[in-house]
Every structure is written in structure tokens, then in C-alpha cells.
Amino acid sequence: MGQIIAEEKLHVADEDWSEIIGPSTGLLDLNLKEVWKYRDLLVMFVRRDFVATYKQTILGPLWFFIQPLLTTVTFVIVFGNIAKISTDGVPQVLFYLSGLTLWNYFADCLNKTATIFRDNAGIFGKVYFPRLIIPLSIVVSNLVRFAIQFALFGAIWLWFLYKGNIQPNIFILLTPLLVILMAIMSLGLGLIITALTTKYRDLVFLLTFGVQLLMYATPIIYPMSALPVKYASIIKANPLSAIVETFRYAFTGSGTFNWLYLLYSAVFSIIVLVIGTVVFNKVEKSFMDTV
Amino acid sequence: MSTVIKVENISKQYRLGDVGTGTISHDLNRWWAMLRGKEDPTLQLGEVNDRSKAGESDYVWALKDINFEVKAGEVLGIIGRNGAGKSTLLKILSKTTQPTTGTVKLKGRVASLLEVGTGFHPELSGRDNIFLNGAILGMTKREIQSKFDEIVDFSGVERYIDTPVKRYSSGMYVRLAFAVAAHLEPEILIVDEVLAVGDAEFQKKCLGKMKDVSVNDGRTVLFVSHNMTAIQGLCNQALVLNNGMVSFPKGNTNKALQMFKNSISAQSLSSDLSLVQTRSGSGNLVINSMIFKNKNSEIIISPSTGEKITIEFEVKAFMDIKSLSIAIGFYSQLGECKLILWNELLNSFFDVNKGVLLIFCVIDNFPLTVGSYTINLITSSNNEILDWIQEAKSIEVLGGDYYNTGKTIESSHQTALVPHKWEKLI
């Protein structure tokens, strides 16, 4: 089959067709140029997400703050005071909030990306635009959300810094990289899951509690140092661990930093993203026939 | 003029039944065949898409070996019965689905109006939705900005432009949506069924705009509609699809329409409806047959205008049914509903016991004028559709002496006849 198409492509090369629709295209035919052409659409989607989410809510954008704050308070009470899990000398509020801010970004992106096909079946069935725009818009709109929550974290961090409870260091400069890694990882995972859910719906159910389990496998509510040796290697194998740990180390000075682990996370997330994009791209073309 | 669309051997295969279960085994089958370098086994299966016959294979060809070319500035109408493959073809052309085999080559930007208003978000204002929808359809922000006033003007909803569209009436919604789409200015415009909505005035405006787009701007339009008047008025070329294949190759619109009408009329003159497959509903009650009888209780094939006729149904109820509602709709060959006979409107519901029974509808003066009509039947009970048959039967109405004056009414200039009187005052 591939051969025939290749031949036909050669055959019409002399006529300047602007587009050729064929049965199946190469795995890596991502058409990023087209994605760029539709960048205005990405902005529109981001805008839509914001306006639509908080329309007709009383507190509106305040929800950006309330959600992480309430979770942090819950964590302080449950894990900090009842379960008495160590926070490595870092003030509890700051400890949990630092993990949560980054984690929320990952979880929000993943959850949203993983249901792309289900959420957008209506549009996808009717109009063509590069489908990659949707996951990209999710990552971007969550990035804005992250920025707001990060500002909240920043304010609280400054307060503790002023009180002299923490020793931040130069690795703070790595923050953008960490956020990008989180974005890449969630995007990649989300794309893989959404591609699979078109055929195997069961994964949707797995996702909700899978994300929760993954959070416990990441040092959000406990520091790496508090881990018993037999679990430490498992948690370290989680590519998210190094990202969260680095973030916390940079801002509070507690914990560890290891270039090797971070490199592992980076390589892992890029591989996931590549696989995700390829799988998504393949499914996207036949998806309307299976849903 | 240059060719802007070239469709070559396009075929599209669908799998019937429950997609999702058993797909793993099918997938494995395919991989295995691929590994051995053989042809995809599922592609050898598949049959012509004829709904009235129960297929033997799980796979059907929604489209099979479609070939045609469209030149710049042409307006091509695509005609076919429900399920003929029209929408599948348009979906392939608009890239929302991929063909199984074959290629389509296009020159220029394609915009499809498979359904207007796609991507409208109810919470956003009309203004925001214009931008969002425009971007989804492939316009850049600057393009939309430059046409914004024109779009708002065309839609006629200026007053509500900053109101969330969820508060719009459905008419306003469609107007706005179509207005955005109409200002796309793609080289190739694909239109499906947009004209089913909106009031007559707006429909006229839309048709005008589409004509404008093709004549003045030299753009190419592919148009699918059940509104044959619209196809006739708008398209200079047409092709007919039947069961996924081209049954009338691209050519003169009137000839294509004629051929399409003939194929419909040829559809069974028999009274037996049990084999008609274009039906839906719970099936707790089915209509087995429908016959027309004249005043002497003789079976007739074609009723005449003004004649006293009885339409007799044999129905089979599989359970006791309370307050059965039954309706007969007569549709002109242009797809317009001309007459509905409905017991619900007369408050004469039936309570039906399980079993076979006959239902009669008596018309003293048959009011339709000369022409061909398609009949749709629907039965329901408490809003549950029991048996809904589309295109159950085609009938030919003959001219007759409606007013009992010895004057046969042959003309079809009028749609319906009513008993009436003339008087004068001195």
C-alpha cells in the first residue's frame, strides 16, 4: 500500500496540488507547519477555557487559589499532624504547597489531555483542523493556571524566606525547565492514554485513580529522605520524582539534587512525548470511525 | 479552467455492529497478515452497502471506487438517498475521516460546513464565538477582525452580540453560525444540510450567498442537500450516489435529478412494508402493509385528486399498546412535506391489543394535486416511537375532479385543494 501512495505522490508532483488525502500517512507526518498556521485557534481555545470555566461562579478566578490552599490545609492536618510524616524541617505549608503546585499542573494537564477524543468528538467529526492544537491548548491554558498558583506559592515562600526558615539556592533558575518537563511528560502520557481510550474505554476509569496512585509514588507528601530503603529505588524510578524533588530543593534547600536523576526524567519525558504524538497522530485519523 | 478536486478510486469501509468488542482479535489478525506480507484480510470482505439486505459480512463499503473531478468555479450537487454515502464522501473531502483506499487531490483551502456552529461555546458571547468558530474553520484572527462587521451584519444579531449564545434563539444561533461560515472565503466550500434550519427568508439569503460565492468569486462549492429545489437552483453539475457507488456520473443537474426521481419511483409498488429497512423505533409494533382503496373498496395504486380513498394498514402489535398514535406524511419529490394525516390531531387514539389488526384512514376528498409523493409513516405511543418508516412507499397522484364540477384538475401549480365557496353581496 505504502508503495502505491509513494508512486502516486511522485506521479502528481508536477501538478501543484495543495493537498493530497490518502488512506494512511507516515507515522512521523506530524504536519507541524499546519499547527503553526492554526496558532490563532490555540489562543482562542485557551481563552475559551478560561471564560467558560468560571462563568457563573461567584468566586470566579479565586478558585485558582482556593483549591491548592484547601488541599494544602488538608495535607497539613492529615499527613503532617495526624500521620506525622516528616517534612524534612521545611515548614509544612510550604512543603506541601511546593509539591502540590507542580503536581496540580501535571495532573490537570494529564486528566484533560487523556479525554481529548471523548470531549471533542463533536467538533472532530465535523471540522478539520490539526488535532494537536487541542492538547497544546490544554498545556498552555493550564500553564496560565499554574502561573497563578505559582504566584500564590511565591507569596507564601517569600514570607517564610523573610522569616528565615528556608535556604533557597541557585537551582531556582531551573524552575522553567522543570515546568517544561512536567508539561512534556503530562502531554505525552495524556496523548498515549487518549489514543488508547478511543478503542479501550476502560482506561478512563483507570486514569482517575491512576493519577492519584501516581501522586503517592511521587514525593509530594513525604520527602525522599524519609523513605525506607526498600521503597526508595521504586520512587526514584518514577521520572516525576526528580522533578518535584529538584523543585523543592531549589526553593527550600531541603532534600537532594542529582543531575543524573533529572537527566533521566528529561529523557524519559521526551521519549513519552514522541511516542504520544505519534500514537495520537495515527489514531486521530481513524478515530471518527471507532467512536 | 483548472481542476481543483480530483477524487480517484475513493473507497471507505466501515465495520458494522459493536465496534470496540473483539477489536483486539481483529487487530491481531491484521498484524498477522501484515507480517506475512499479505493483504489486509478485512479489506477482502465487505459488501455493497445495501441496507435492505441483511449482509453476511461485518464490513461494508460505505463508498466504493468513487471517481470524479471538479473544476474551479463549479457548483456540484451530490444527490442520494439516506445512507447512499454522501456524508461519508464529504467527510473524506473535509478530512474528518480517512478513506480506506484511493486518494483525493485538492487545490486551495477547503472549508466544510458539515454542520454550522461547530465549536460554538454556549457560555461565550456572540463576539467571542465568531472568533472561536472562525479560527476553528481555519481563519486567522486578523482575517476575522477584518470581516467582523460584515459577519455581524449578515447574521442580523447585532443587538445580542455581547450576550452568551446560550441565550440565543435557535434561529439566531444558526444565523450567526452561518454568517461566520459564509465569510470564510475558501477556494473550496463543502456544504451539507445547512439549509434545514432557519426561516425561509434566511434560507434564501444563504442560497444567495452561496451562489454569490461561486459566480462572482469563482469558488468551487460541493453541495449536499435533501432540498432538491435548492440543488436545482444552485448547482450547475450534479452526481447521484446510490449504495456507495456513483449511479449517475457527474453531469447536467436536471438529468441527474430526473434519474434520481425515477429511481425512487421505481422503488417497490408492492404494499408489503415488512422488507423496508429504512425504519427505526422500538419495534413493539410494526406496520406490515399499506394499501389504498377507492370508494368501491377496490385496491388502487394511484389515487386521484378529489377521490374518496381509504388507506388501510395492517399492523402487528407485539404487546398491548395504549393510545397508539399513527401518522402518514406525504412528501413531494423536492422533499417538502405536503400533507400529514395524524390521528393524534383528531384526538382519536387507539388502544391496541397484542396481535394483528387493521387500521383505516378515510379521506373524503383527497386533496393533493398531480405528482409523485413519497410516504413516511410513524407510529408512537406516549412519545415512544414504535415504528418509523422513511420512504415507505412512493405514489403517483392522478388528476381528478375535486370540486365535482366535471373539471379535472391536472395542474400541479397548486399544492393542495380545499373545499370552499364563493359568494357575492349585492
The amino acid that residue B40 corresponds to is: D
Contact (CB, 8 A) for B347 and B287:
no
Angle of CA points B76, B77, B83, to nearest 5° = 135
Q: How far apart are CA B291 and CA B314, in angstroms?
A: 9
| Chain A residues whose beta carbon lies within 8 Å of the beta carbon of residue B128 | 47-48, 51
Q: Which among B97, B136, B99, B96 has a CA at the least distance from the CA of B116?
A: B136
Q: How far apart are CA B252 and CA B238, in angstroms?
A: 6
> Residue A75 — left, alpha, or beta (φ > 0 → left; ψ -120 to 50 → alpha)?
alpha
State the CB neighbour count (10 A cutoff) for residue B37.
Answer: 6
| Chain A residues whose beta carbon lies within 8 Å of the beta carbon of residue B99 | 21-23
Cα dist. A34→A31, A141, A206, B311, B420 in Å? 6, 20, 33, 59, 65
Which of A11, A20, A126 best tests the B interface by mutation, with the highest count of B CBs <10 A? A126
Per-chain mean pLDDT for chain B: 80
Which pLDDT score, from 0 to 100, does residue A105 have?
92
Which of A3, A7, A15, A18 best tests the B interface by mutation, with the highest count of B CBs <10 A? A18
Which pLDDT score, from 0 to 100, does residue B4 have?
86
| Chain A residues whose beta carbon lies within 8 Å of the beta carbon of residue B41 | none
Q: Which of residues B54 and B297 earns the better pLDDT score?
A: B297
Looking at residues B316-345, what average pLDDT do you find?
89
Q: How far apart are CA A128 and CA B78, in angstroms?
A: 21
Name the H helices within chain A.
2-11, 32-37, 39-54, 63-75, 92-113, 116-119, 121-124, 133-163, 175-197, 202-216, 229-237, 239-252, 259-290
> Residue B257 — left, alpha, or beta (φ > 0 → left; ψ -120 to 50 → alpha)?
alpha
Closest residue in A to B9 (Cα–Cα): A22
Q: How far is B375 from chain A (nearest CA, A)?
A: 31
Cα dist. B229→B75, B284, B327 in Å? 14, 37, 25
**Which value does ipTM take for this structure?**
0.78
- Return the percentage of chain B with pLDDT > 70, whole number: 81
The amino acid that residue B241 corresponds to is: L
Q: How far apart are CA B182 and CA B162, in angstroms?
A: 21
pLDDT band at residue B402 using 50, 70 and 90 as cut-offs: confident
Across the interface, whether the CB atoms of B137 and A24 are under 8 A apart is answered: no
Looking at residues B298-319, what average pLDDT do you find?
87
Using the Cβ of B138 and the Cβ atoms of chain A, whether some distance falls under 8 Å is answered with yes
Cα dihedral B177→B182→B183→B185 (10° resolution)? 140
- Return the percentage of chain B with pLDDT > 90, whole number: 10
State the CB neighbour count (10 A cutoff) for residue A275.
Answer: 15
Q: How far apart are CA B122 and CA B403, in angstroms?
A: 54
pTM: 0.69
Please identify among residues 22-41 of chain B the ones whose CB lies closer than 8 Å to any CB of chain A: 23
Domain boundaries, chain A: 29-290
Contact (CB, 8 A) for A278 and A28:
yes
Fold match, B3-11+65-264 / B279-397? no
pLDDT tens, position by position, A19-73 = 777 776 666 667 788 888 888 899 989 988 888 777 767 777 788 888 889 999 9
Beta-carbon contacts of B335 under 8 Å, excluding residues fewer than 6 positions away, are B226, B227, B228
The amino acid that residue B370 corresponds to is: V
Reduced to 3 states, what is the DSSP secondary structure of residue B377?
strand
For the record, the C-alpha cell of B12 comes out as 471507505
Using the Cβ of B95 and the Cβ atoms of chain A, whether some distance falls under 8 Å is answered with yes
Q: Is B65 exposed, middle or buried (0-12, 13-18, 19+ CB in 10 A)?
A: middle
Domain boundaries, chain B: 3-11+65-264, 279-397
Across the interface, whether the CB atoms of A51 and B99 are under 8 A apart is answered: no
Closest residue in A to B141 (Cα–Cα): A40
The amino acid that residue B369 corresponds to is: T
Q: Which of residues B292 and B409 earns the better pLDDT score?
A: B292
For the record, the C-alpha cell of A184 comes out as 512534556
Please count the residue pairs, one from chain A and one from chain B, whose beta carbons lie less than 8 angstroms apart. Answer: 119
Across the interface, whether the CB atoms of B97 and A289 are under 8 A apart is answered: yes
Across the interface, whether the CB atoms of B140 and A5 are under 8 A apart is answered: no
Q: Which of residues B130 and B44 earns the better pLDDT score?
A: B130
The amino acid that residue B407 corresponds to is: K
Q: How far is A120 from chain B (nearest CA, A)?
A: 9
pLDDT band at residue B22 using 50, 70 and 90 as cut-offs: very low
Q: How far apart are CA A117 and CA A290, in angstroms?
A: 11
Looking at residues B58-71, what average pLDDT do you find?
84
Instruction: Name which of A259-263, B1-5, B324-328 the model is least confident about.
Output: B1-5
Using the Cβ of B20 and the Cβ atoms of chain A, whether some distance falls under 8 Å is answered with yes
Closest residue in A to B27 (Cα–Cα): A199
Residue with grid cell 523543592, as numbered in its chain: A248
Reduced to 3 states, what is the DSSP secondary structure of residue B105?
strand
Which of A8, A40, A56, A200 best tests the B interface by mutation, with the highest count of B CBs <10 A? A40
pLDDT band at residue B63 using 50, 70 and 90 as cut-offs: confident
Q: Which residues of chain A have pLDDT under 50?
A: 1-14
B124 vs A22, A38, A52: nearest CB: A52
Contact (CB, 8 A) for B351 and B322:
yes
| H helix or E strand, kind and range, residue B321 | strand B321-332
Q: Which among A171, A172, A151, A149 has a CA at the least distance from the CA of A101?
A: A149
Using the Cβ of B177 and the Cβ atoms of chain A, whether some distance falls under 8 Å is answered with no
Beta-carbon contacts of A265 under 8 Å, excluding residues fewer than 6 positions away, are A181, A185, A239, A240, A241, A242, A243
Which of A5, A11, A14, A21 best tests the B interface by mutation, with the highest count of B CBs <10 A? A21
Q: Which CATH number fits domain B279-397: 2.40.160.60, 3.40.630.40, 2.40.50.100, 2.70.50.60?
A: 2.70.50.60
Which pLDDT score, from 0 to 100, does residue B145 have?
92
Which pLDDT score, from 0 to 100, does residue A6 have?
44
Contact (CB, 8 A) for A195 and A279:
yes
Per-chain mean pLDDT for chain A: 84
CATH annotation of B3-11+65-264: 3.40.50.300
Across the interface, whether the CB atoms of A40 and B14 are under 8 A apart is answered: no
Across the interface, whether the CB atoms of B19 and A123 are under 8 A apart is answered: no
Across the interface, whether the CB atoms of A125 and B140 are under 8 A apart is answered: no
Q: How far is B164 from chain A (nearest CA, A)?
A: 10
pLDDT tens, position by position, B176-221 = 888 887 787 788 888 776 555 556 666 677 777 777 777 777 788 8
